[in-house]
Amino acid sequence: GLSGEAVALAGSAFGTVVADTTVTLGDVVCNVTAVTDTQIDCTLGSRQGGAAPIKVNLPFNFQMLLIQGGELIFDEKDVTLKSENILITSNGLLQIGTEAEPFQHNAAVEMHGHLRSAELPIYGAKTLAVRNGTLELHGSYVDVPWTKLASTAAAGATQITLQHVVTWKAGDEIVIATTGHRHSQRENENKVISAVSSDGKTLTLTSPLDYEHLGVSETFGTTTVEFRAEVGLLTRNIVFRGSNDHAWNDDIPACPDGFNTGEFATQTCFQGRFGDEVGSDEFGGSIMFHAADMGKDTAVGHIENTEITYAGQAFRLGRYPIHFHLMGNVSGMYVRRCAIHKTFNRAVTIHGTHNLLVEHNVVSDVMGGAIFIEDGIETKNVIQYNLAVFVKQSTSLLNDDITPAAFWVTNPDNVLRHNHAAGGTHFGFWYRMHEHPDGPSFTTSVCQQKVELGEFQNNTVHSQGWFGIWIFQNYFPMEGGSCNSNVPSPARFKSLTTWNCEKGAEWVNGGAIQFHDFVMVNNEKTGMDLKMVSGTDWGEEKGAVIKNAVVVGHSLTTASTFQTSVGITLPFSPNLFLINVKFHNFDRGNAVAFGVTSIDGTCSFACGGYHYWTEGMSFINTPRRVKYRWEHEAVISDRDGTLTG
């Protein structure tokens, strides 16, 4: 355009205030002459002809922002973008910072809408959708997204000391995980920082802690266990959030009796189960990647150092805070160093998607399974160094979300390492493999119950309502992992630490599953519960094994009356080999190192006689080694005399 040329910008919800609306084309001001609800009229100042980026400072909400082949790039200044829907198509771009030059000011993308808003096909309402193009969100770098307490913080304290130096700032919000028993979900606390010490390790809070949070370690033999609360940063300088309809914000008092996660427990109230709460319409924003042509890099996303909050939509399948939907191979894409909190339908959903990197994120206060691998077709995704706090029961989606897991896995060929889950209502990790993938990924050519394990290593779970890890229902890993494979290939789950849960670990019906270097401490019912073993041979090469485990019945951090009931619960089937297992502190009440499982609806009396091998057993402060409910309930072959000697 030339100097003096009239320009018209069409849209909706522009308002009518000329003085509050500015438009620039390149570096040239376009003088606004009129504003209506659907159009801005302006006149160009002096410039040369040719293409130039349009810069618009808009004091209104878009109803629909369509980035169709163009580029919307945030200037390095404080910016807020408000819209009911944003759709990126025709190779468009929405960019806030770059990987090489992260955004340094404050930016917000605020999605508006309500339960009855008109929905886009596929993508829904209140959604930032990428169909054909790129979304780049790169906030200011956060070196330490989460750490742990260096020392115990007492209830009433206004300072906490961290293990690592942080660059967090006054005004930032943090979450401090509970270190209490398995029903202590209300002891997860959100606090605001008022000051940070010069060494970056001590935080002063704007209000005192309501509960004690542990920051201690204890050694059992040669194994040291850290009982420390995780502390995660929830604030980022780029924020993606859904609008909050204050009409729904009622104060909900705490349920007097709290929340009991028991499967058959009678609940005394539906809301307020975790302390005083605020009502919500549970209709948040959503970021959704879904390309028309799977696996061709036509929809691309990189999200880092970004805060996602008031996100996800309850009761709506597919409306998640961050959703990679039927994307195929996404090598190079990532969600990292983000804070995803106060969500109503999961945190990150990986659906029909492979090779996604999800790392160094803080996930907190999430309804339903948090980091969620959906159909069972998904492989080679890397999920590492994440913290998930207060992942809670949801009755607004699938049955599985009634008993959610912080990390929900439907295909074993994925990588989960160095993650922590704390203070949730049910599971830390849940491996749930159906016979074939379900949903739109259904195919009979994939049998994920036979797929070899990718990697599970160095994960920690504590203060969860149910189990640290649950492998349910069937998993029989085979060489090659194909549907007609029939040679066992051990799935070695390595280095899981679980404390203050109902059970440390359980598999229900498994083949060559092996637990290596597990540390199970202060879990109420049992350290490890194995229900069934089948389709395997004896021994490490192709069999079911527990090796190099430490199982502790009580520690200095527990009440004087606490005691894990059974260290390891043996299965209703033979072929389990236990190697180098150390039991500590099974000395209160009727506690015992070994017992035999029970399965509802099966034999309840005078059954058993199954055969197990042991080698390298060690019992410290554990006078009762084996409990039989009746004669010949189990046959344990003590291969080196360490069980009976």
The mean per-residue pLDDT over the stretch 515-538 comes to 96
For residue 265, pLDDT beyond 70: yes
Give the residue from 13, 32, 60 where a domain finishes. Answer: 60
pLDDT digits (tens, 9 = 90+) for 273-319: 888 888 889 999 999 999 999 888 899 999 999 999 999 999 999 99
Domain end marker among 15, 44, 60 = 60
Tell me, what's the pLDDT at 286?
Answer: 98
Residue 50 confidence (pLDDT): 59
| 185 and 258, same domain (yes or no) | no
Residues 225 and 267 in one domain: no
Of the pLDDT bands very low, low, confident and very high (cuts 50, 70, 90), residue 514 is very high
Q: Is 226 in the same domain as 258?
A: no
For residues 265 and 197, state if they share a domain. no
Q: What is the pLDDT of residues 426-446, one digit of tens each?
A: 999 999 999 999 999 999 999
The answer to whether residue 78 sits within a structural domain is no
Same domain, 254 and 192: no
* 211 assigned to some structural domain: yes
198 shares its domain with 165: yes
Q: Is the pLDDT of residue 256 over 90?
A: no
pLDDT per residue over 357-386, tens digit each? 999 999 999 999 999 999 999 999 999 999
Domain membership of residue 346 (yes or no) is no
Residue 239 lies in a domain: no
Q: What is the mean pLDDT of residues 528-554?
A: 96
Q: Is residue 200 part of a domain?
A: yes
The pLDDT tens digits of the residues spanning 148-195 come to 999 999 999 999 999 999 999 999 999 999 999 999 999 999 999 999
Q: What is the CA radius of gyration of the chain?
A: 27
Residue 478: the pLDDT is 97
DSSP string, 38-100: SEEEEEE-S--SS---EEEE--S-BS-EEEES-EEE--SS-EEEEES-EEEETTEEEEES-SS
Distance CA 564, CA 503 (A): 9
Q: Is 429 a member of any domain?
A: no
The more confident residue out of 398 and 527 is 527
Domain boundary pick from 60, 81, 99? 60
> Are residues 180 and 229 located together in one domain of the fold?
yes
Burial 617-640 (b: 16+ CB within 10 A, else e): bebeebebbbbeeeeebbebeeee
> Domain range for residue 253?
246-274
Residue 216 resides in a domain: yes
Instruction: Quote the pLDDT of residue 485.
Output: 96
280 domain-assigned: no
- 333-359 pLDDT, tens per residue? 999 999 999 999 999 999 999 999 999
Q: What is the pLDDT of residue 643?
A: 97
| Residue 219: C-alpha distances to residues 226, 227, 619 (Å) | 9, 11, 15
User: What's the average model confidence in pLDDT over 109-114?
Assistant: 94
| pLDDT for residue 52 is more than 70 | no
Q: Return the structure tokens found at 191.
A: 């606090």
Q: What is the structure's pLDDT at 47?
A: 61
Looking at the structure of the chain, the number of domains it has is 3
Q: What is the CATH number of the domain that holds 175?
A: 2.40.30
Confidence of residue 45 (pLDDT cuts 50, 70, 90): confident
pTM of the model: 0.93
Looking at the structure, do residues 229 and 252 belong to the same domain, yes or no?
A: no
For residues 535-546, average pLDDT:
94
Q: Are residues 179 and 226 in the same domain?
A: yes
Cβ contacts of 366 within 8 Å, gap of 6 or more: 340, 341, 343, 346, 347, 388, 390, 391, 392
Same domain, 185 and 214: yes
The beta strand positions in 274-409, using DSSP E, are 277-278, 286-289, 299-304, 306-311, 322-329, 334-336, 339-343, 348-354, 357-359, 362-367, 371-373, 382-384, 387-392, 405-409
**Domain shared by 228 and 188, yes or no:** yes
Residues 192 and 219 in one domain: yes
